Amino acid sequence: MKVSSFINGVYVDSEEQRNITSPVTGKLITPYSVATDAQVDEAVQAAKAALKGEWGSMSIQQRVEILYKVADGISARFDDFLEAECLDTGKPYSLARHIDIPRGAANFRVFADTIKNVADEAFHMPTPDGTGALNYTIRKPKGVIGVIGPWNLPLLLMTWKIGPALACGNTVVVKPSEETQLTMTMLGEVMNAAGVPKGVFNTVLGPGSRVGDKLISHPDLDAITFTGSTATGERVAEAASVGLRDASLELGGKNPAIVFADCDMDKAIEGTMRSVFANCGQVCLGTERVYVERPIFDEFVARLKTGAEALKLGKAEDPETTMGPLISASHRDKVLDYYQQAVDAGATVITGGGVPEMAEELKGGNWVEPTIWTGMAEDATPITEEIFGPCCHIAPFDTEDEAIEMANNSPYGLASSVWTENASRAHRVGGQMEVGISWINSWFLRDLRTPFGGAKQSGIGREGGHYSLEFYTELTNVCIKL
Ligand code: TXE
């Protein structure tokens, strides 16, 4: 497969080639072409021109039909997308088969349905002369949207933005993470086959600091939607402020789980296993801080340890595999540095803490052990900073108020999970979490109509359902004097 930017309906090469390597083996997967500055500009100009062409004059129904075809196109090539996503990220097939690829298709279907069913607002108003007036709103596309995303759930997170952006009639220039570009590259073929007009969907490939920065600084972008780290989110917000463009920022997290003694322990362990270790801990919604009520603390720690030690690290395609590697060697260095900082901060290492012994052919991969700590002070950096690896710290608590205070004591506010069988407590505690998404007895349970986003340094704005429409459209109020 040739990996290059997709501009105005065709793949374009460039002289500068870089390598994509496997997180599983460290070996070369394929080279890719880095977009030049001129190609970034061409992509934005193609997107701008497409707004005025066939795409711009389509009815909502016509757009919706095309988006259904895009969803069908992903589903029809399910196995190709699955293989590419797992090759790029190293995540187990068993995970991507149930989450990443189905959600990639669903993101087009759901937002096609959303735009089809949304009603315009209308208000009648009295006027001094008694004739009255009628106000109604018209939803228009914002224009050219810059879409920048991360490497942890590449197809899922990018289409979560591209789906609603196109449903609302915008055009997009997409910059996937330089770590994971395969499924976004394939999406170009799907768009062409579905009849998406040229220039509506474009990709530019390359490093964020260069290609990404060139894109967000382009004066002809009308809005930017970004998922990634808080530090880069601040840079995106800065670039968006020039020309007063709108920016939607979905950033990092340091998500807590609170486990009360009245929980269903089996469910709490199963849910926490997923929230800590799924995707090798590389999920923005993942749990890295677990607070457990003292009477069940020892049992909880022992059972989570058993679960962590039962995880099977291995190749993505092996049906036995339940955990893959980290995305890159540099990310592994970062995670291992936190593992060391935890020891330095006096942590008791319940399990893991290092690099696992892997079979010869996997030795070059970015493997780390699933890790659980106890005993750190709440201000230790492995407890305050996002690690983005397969690890968590477990601390005991004695009262509900103490648990809420510890859980909320973070500069981040993306997600939380509360485990209790007491319905009053579930509502009381769930509502007090300073986060965008508060789960009770669950994790990663997502209805795409609900608002998604973070409080505090976890982001600005919400996407999902009609919240996405708010971001991806510009409203015009028409006021008619009757
Ligand atoms: O993120 P970046 P990285 C967190 C996680 C991880 C850390 C760093 O803690 O360890 O961030 O990961 C593009 N202008 N999350 O370095 O830099 C970049 O090319 C424009 C949490 O991968 O934020 C990529 O496409 N674009 C997160 C995207 O931004 C720029 C998921 C994200 O990269 C740019 C990923 C620039 N100046 C990491 N610099 C989550 N919330 O899910 C970089 N990019």
The pLDDT tens digits of the residues spanning 450-460 come to: 999 999 999 99
Q: Which atom of ligand 1 is nearest to the CA of 157?
A: 42
Q: Give the residue-averaged pLDDT of 117-123.
A: 93
Nearest residue (CA) to ligand 1, atom 26: 212
- Please indicate, yes or no, if residue 452 is contained in any of the structural domains: no
- The reported pLDDT for the residue numbered 303 is 98
464 and 379, same structural domain? no
CATH number for the domain that contains residue 344: 3.40.309.10
φ, ψ at 160 (rounded to 5°): -60, -25
Q: How far apart are CA 233 and CA 217, in angstroms?
A: 13
Q: How far is the CA of 192 from the centre of ligand 1 (A)?
A: 28
Supply the DSSP string of 114-141, one letter for each residue: HHHHPPPPEEEE--TTS--EEEEEEEEE
Q: Which atom of ligand 1 is nearest to the CA of 235?
A: 37
pLDDT category, 2, cuts 50, 70, 90? confident
234 and 289, same structural domain? no
φ, ψ at 317 (rounded to 5°): -80, -10
Contacts of 55-63 spanning 24+ positions with Cβ under 8 A = 55/169, 55/171, 55/196, 55/197, 55/199, 55/200, 56/141, 56/169, 58/169, 60/115, 60/116, 60/169, 61/116, 63/112, 63/115, 63/166, 63/167, 63/169
410 and 262, same structural domain? yes
The pLDDT tens digits of the residues spanning 308-344 come to 999 999 999 999 999 999 999 999 999 999 999 999 9
Active site residues: 250, 284
213 lines ligand 1 (CB under 6 A): yes
User: Taking the CA atoms of the chain, what radius of gyration do you get in angstroms?
Assistant: 23
112 and 139, same structural domain? yes
217 lines ligand 1 (CB under 6 A): no
Q: How far apart are CA 138 and CA 204, in angstroms?
A: 32
275 and 192, same structural domain? no
261 and 247, same structural domain? no
Q: Give the residue-averaged pLDDT of 269-296.
A: 98
- Please indicate, yes or no, if residue 453 is contained in any of the structural domains: no
423 and 463, same structural domain? no
Alpha helices in 128-260 (DSSP H): 154-167, 182-194, 213-216, 230-241
Is the per-residue pLDDT at 287 higher than 90? yes
* Those residues with Cβ within 8 angstroms of residue 234's Cβ, 6 or more apart along the chain or in another chain: none
Q: How far apart are CA 181 and CA 32, in angstroms?
A: 9
pLDDT category, 1, cuts 50, 70, 90? confident
Q: How far is the CA of 466 from the centre of ligand 1 (A)?
A: 26
127 and 53, same structural domain? yes
Q: How far apart are CA 172 and CA 166, in angstroms?
A: 8
What share of the chain in percent tops pLDDT 90? 99
Q: How far is the CA of 45 from the centre of ligand 1 (A)?
A: 25
Is the per-residue pLDDT at 112 higher than 80? yes
Of residues 283, 304, 311, the one with CA closest to residue 443: 283
- Please indicate, yes or no, if residue 198 is contained in any of the structural domains: yes
pTM recorded for the entire structure: 0.96
184 and 127, same structural domain? yes
Q: How far is the CA of 150 from the centre of ligand 1 (A)?
A: 6
Residue 31: which H helix or E strand, with range? strand 28-33
The pLDDT tens digits of the residues spanning 156-211 come to 999 999 999 999 999 999 999 999 999 999 999 999 999 999 999 999 999 999 99
Q: How far is the CA of 226 from the centre of ligand 1 (A)?
A: 9
Q: Which atom of ligand 1 is nearest to the CA of 208?
A: 19
- The reported pLDDT for the residue numbered 102 is 98
CATH number for the domain that contains residue 73: 3.40.605.10
- Please indicate, yes or no, if residue 399 is contained in any of the structural domains: yes
The pLDDT tens digits of the residues spanning 226-281 come to 999 999 999 999 999 999 999 999 999 999 999 999 999 999 999 999 999 999 99
148 and 284, same structural domain? no
Q: Count the domains in the chain.
A: 2
Of residues 382, 377, 390, 384, the one with CA closest to residue 456: 384
Q: How far apart are CA 440 and CA 463, in angstroms?
A: 21
- Please indicate, yes or no, if residue 119 is contained in any of the structural domains: yes
218 and 330, same structural domain? no
The pLDDT tens digits of the residues spanning 351-363 come to 999 999 999 999 9
154 lines ligand 1 (CB under 6 A): no
CB neighbour class for 246 (10 Å; exposed up to 12, middle 13-18, buried from 19): middle
- The reported pLDDT for the residue numbered 79 is 98
- Please indicate, yes or no, if residue 377 is contained in any of the structural domains: yes
Pairing of strands 459-460, 246-250: antiparallel
462 and 443, same structural domain? no
Which of 88, 232, 368, 410 for mutating ligand 1's site (highest number of atoms within 8 Å of CB)? 232
- Please indicate, yes or no, if residue 33 is contained in any of the structural domains: yes
> What is the rounded average pLDDT for all residues in the chain?
97
What is the domain extent for residue 208? 5-251+458-481
